[in-house]
Structure 1
Amino acid sequence: MHSIVLLIWLTLCAAQDARQRHIANGLTVGAGAFALAYLLWSGSTWLGAPAEQGAWAALLALAFTLPGYALRRLGGGDVKLMIALGLATDGRHVLGVFIGAGLASVCWLALAPRVWLYMGQGLRGRLLYLQPGVSKKQPFAPFLLVGLLLTFAWLR
Structure 2
Amino acid sequence: MIQSVVVLLWLVVCAVQDTRQRLLANRLTLGVAALGGVYLCWTGGTWLGASVGQGLWAFVLALLLTLPGYALGRLGAGDVKLLAALALVSDAEYLLGAFIGAALTSVLWLLLAPKLWPLMGQRLTDCLGHLAPEPSKKLPFAPFLLVGFTLVWFWIH
Superposed displacement of residue 52, structure 1 = 0.9
**Number of aligned residue pairs:** 156
Rounded Cα–Cα distance in structure 2 between residues aligned with 1:67 and 1:30: 23
TM-score, structure 1 length as denominator?
Answer: 0.97
Equivalent residue letter for 1:96: G
1:77 counterpart residue number: 78
Superposed displacement of residue 136, structure 1 = 2.9
Rounded Cα–Cα distance in structure 2 between residues aligned with 1:89 and 1:29: 15
2:116 counterpart residue number: 115
Superposed displacement of residue 120, structure 1 = 1.7
Q: Matched residue of 1:45: which SS?
A: coil
RMSD, aligned CA = 0.9
Superposed displacement of residue 134, structure 1 = 6.0
1:31 counterpart residue number: 32
2:66 counterpart residue number: 65
1:16 counterpart residue number: 17
Alignment identity in percent? 57
Rounded Cα–Cα distance in structure 1 between residues aligned with 2:47 and 2:144: 21
Rounded Cα–Cα distance in structure 1 between residues aligned with 2:31 and 2:140: 20
Rounded Cα–Cα distance in structure 2 between residues aligned with 1:133 and 1:144: 20
Rounded Cα–Cα distance in structure 2 between residues aligned with 1:30 and 1:123: 30
Rounded Cα–Cα distance in structure 2 between residues aligned with 1:135 and 1:153: 33
- Residues 13-60 of structure 1 show CA distances to partners (whole Å, capped at 9, x for unaligned) of 010000111000000000100111111111000000101100110110
Q: Which runs of 5+ in 1 are unaligned?
A: none
2:152 counterpart residue number: 151
- Residues 82-121 of structure 1 show CA distances to partners (whole Å, capped at 9, x for unaligned) of 0000000001111100100000000000000111112121
Q: Which runs of 5+ in 2 are unaligned?
A: none
Q: Matched residue of 2:40: which SS?
A: helix
TM-score, structure 2 length as denominator?
Answer: 0.97
Rounded Cα–Cα distance in structure 2 between residues aligned with 1:84 and 1:146: 17
Q: Which runs of 4+ in 1 moved over 3 A?
A: none
Q: Matched residue of 1:73: which SS?
A: coil
Equivalent residue letter for 2:23: H
